[in-house]
Amino acid sequence: MSSNETTWTDKSETPPRASEWRRFRRVFFGRRVVVFGTVIIGFLVLMAIIGPWIAPYDPIKINLRERLQDPSWQHWLGTDNYGRDILSRIIYGARTSLQIGLLSVGLASIVGMILGGVAAYYGGWIEAIIMRFIDALMSIPVVVLALVIAALLGGGETNVIIALSVSQMPQYARLMAGQVVSVKENDYILAVKSLGANDWRILFNHLFTNSVAPLIVQFTLTLGGTILAEATLSFLGIGIQEPTPAWGAMISNAREYLMDHPLLSIAPGVAIMLVVFGFNMIGDGLRDALDPRLRGRL
């Protein structure tokens, strides 16, 4: 019988209080690298929001006579193979990339939570059907799934988001199912049930809210990976289409200029690196702060 059995579920039965919040802040901001990650993501989110006002140029306006310029006062990061300002594209790209990350992981987690929650709560046939379906999805690698979905629906931002969320969904369903199974036998839930609350109410009001911590952690940890996956899809020709500035597509398209114009790849490469790093750090920090018991598992 290991010592780490029920601690966190016990704790989560009581909603966080002011003291909890203080503890959260202390742990979360206790690690410098987490603070650094938070600052990076904060900065990128800000850039995504105010991008249109700070970007020096139109990110999709081509100027074939000024293509592939080195950095200068006019173009801090130079221009790309269409003569577009790289800095402006990076700034606008923050918006696209974050959007893809947040929407696809958001969609995946919502659908996954519902499926996983319902499966685990009801058990029996419902669980068997849902979980076999989840297993089937899970046995197909992300890239392969995306390839099939892109062939079905065509390329473009919406479909990239759909492909990425379908491929992430099983993870959330599993995680949620695991959570619900462990929580639903608790005295607290049994008490609510005996008071006559209906199933949906129990699911939404109690089970979901009580399972949310690990899901938040998982959410931040997969965000970075999802933004990276967009680059892979672009490489296979099923990612975000030109001229929309997206970091993944930018780095993929810049490959052929790598030797002569390395900045074309380095700029979006660094941006992706920062965003993945930032989200991972926040994820780590959240995990430690919300529930140290999750360490080693997420």
Partner 1 sequence: MKKVLFVLVLASLLLAACSTPTPEPTKAPPTSAPVASTKAPEPTKAPAATTAPATSAPAATKAPEPTKAPAAATKAPEPTKAPAAGVTPKTGGTLTILVRALPNPIGNTLTNFAPGNTLYLFPAAEPLVGVAPDGQFVPNKLAVGWDVAPDGKAITFKLRQGVKFHDGTDFNAEAVKYNLDATRTARAELKVITSVDVVDTYTVKLNLSDWSNTILNQLSWHNGVMISPASVKGQTAEYIATHVVGTGPFMLKEFQAETKLVFTKNANYWEKGKPYLDGITYLLVADQNTSKNAFLSGQANAWDYLDAKNAPELVKQGYKINTTPGLGRIIYTDSINADSPFSKKEVRYAFEHAIDKQAIVDAFGYGTWKVAVGPCAETHLGCAVATANARKYDPAKAKQLLAQAGYPNGFKMSFYAVGSIENEMLTAIQAYLKDVGIQAEMSKPDSATGTTLHLEGWKNGVWLQGLTTDSPSYVAALQSDGPNRAKIFSSDVPAKYTELLAQAAAAKDAATQKATSEALIKYVQDEALFIPLFITSRTVVYTSKVHFDLDAYSVHSWNPGDAWLDP
Partner 2 sequence: MRGLTRKMSSPVRSPFRRDLTGLKESDVTTYIVRRLLQSIVVLLLVSIFVFLAIRLMPGDPIKLMVYESNLTGLSPQQLADLRHEYGLDKPLALQYLDWLGGVLQGNLGISVFTKTPVAKEIFRRLPITFEIGLWSLLLSIVIGVPVGIISAVRRGTWIDQLVVTLSNIGVTIPVFWLGVILMLVFSLYLKWLPVMGFTPLTEDPGMHFKQLVMPVICSSLFSVAALARQTRSSMLEVMHQDYIRTAWSKGLNENAIIFKHALKNGLIPVITTLGLSARGIVGGSTVVETVFSIPGMGRLLVSAVSNLDYAYVQGIILIIAATVVAINVLIDIVYGWADPRIRYS
Binding site for partner 2 (CB under 8 A): 1-6, 8-9, 33, 131-133, 135-144, 147-148, 151-152, 170, 174-175, 178-179, 181-183, 214, 224-225, 228, 231-232, 235-236, 248, 251-252, 255, 258-259, 265, 269, 272-273, 276-277, 280-281, 294-298
Q: Whose Cβ is closer to partner 1: residue 112's or residue 248's?
A: 248
Q: Whose Cβ is closer to partner 2: residue 72's or residue 139's?
A: 139
Considering CB distances under 5 to 8 angstroms, the limit depending on partner class, which of partner 2, partner 1, none binds residue 81?
A: partner 1
Q: Are 272 and 248 in contact (CB under 8 A)?
A: yes
Can you state the angle between helices 212-235 and 157-184, rounded to 10 degrees? Answer: 150
Residue that has been written with the tokens 């987490």 in this structure: 34
Burial letters 9-33, b for 16+ CB under 10 A, else e: beebeeeeeeeeeeebeebbeeeee
**Nearest-approach distance from CB 158 to partner 2, in angstroms:** 17
Q: Whose Cβ is closer to partner 2: residue 156's or residue 178's?
A: 178
**9: which residues sit within 8 A by CB, 6+ positions away?**
182, 183, 186, 210
Tokens of 20: 């909890």
- Pick the stretch among 99-107, 120-128, 189-197, 236-244 that binds partner 1 (CB under 8 A): 236-244
**Nearest-approach distance from CB 186 to partner 2, in angstroms:** 10
Residue ranges in 252-271 that form contacts with partner 1 under rule CB under 8 A = 253, 255-256, 258, 260
Q: What count of other Cβ atoms lies within 10 Å of the Cβ of residue 147? A: 17
- Pick the stretch among 2-10, 11-19, 56-64, 129-137 that binds partner 1 (CB under 8 A): 56-64
Q: Whose Cβ is closer to partner 2: residue 27's or residue 137's?
A: 137
Residue that has been written with the tokens 């780490």 in this structure: 4
Tokens of 65: 């006579």
Q: Whose Cβ is closer to partner 1: residue 50's or residue 258's?
A: 258
65 binds partner 1 (CB under 8 A): yes
Residue ranges in 95-134 that form contacts with partner 1 under rule CB under 8 A = none
Residue ranges in 142-161 that form contacts with partner 1 under rule CB under 8 A = 151, 154-156
**Nearest-approach distance from CB 243 to partner 1, in angstroms:** 6
Q: What count of other Cβ atoms lies within 10 Å of the Cβ of residue 186? A: 18
| Closest C-alpha among 240, 289, 229, 280 to residue 40 | 280
Cα–Cα distance, 253 to 162 (Å, whole number): 22
60 binds partner 1 (CB under 8 A): yes
Dihedral sign from CA coordinates of 123, 125, 128, 131? negative
* Burial of residue 224 (number of CB atoms within 10 Å: 0-12, 13-18, 19+): buried
- Contacting residues toward partner 1, per CB under 8 A: 60-62, 64-65, 67, 81-82, 151, 154-156, 237, 241-243, 253, 255-256, 258, 260
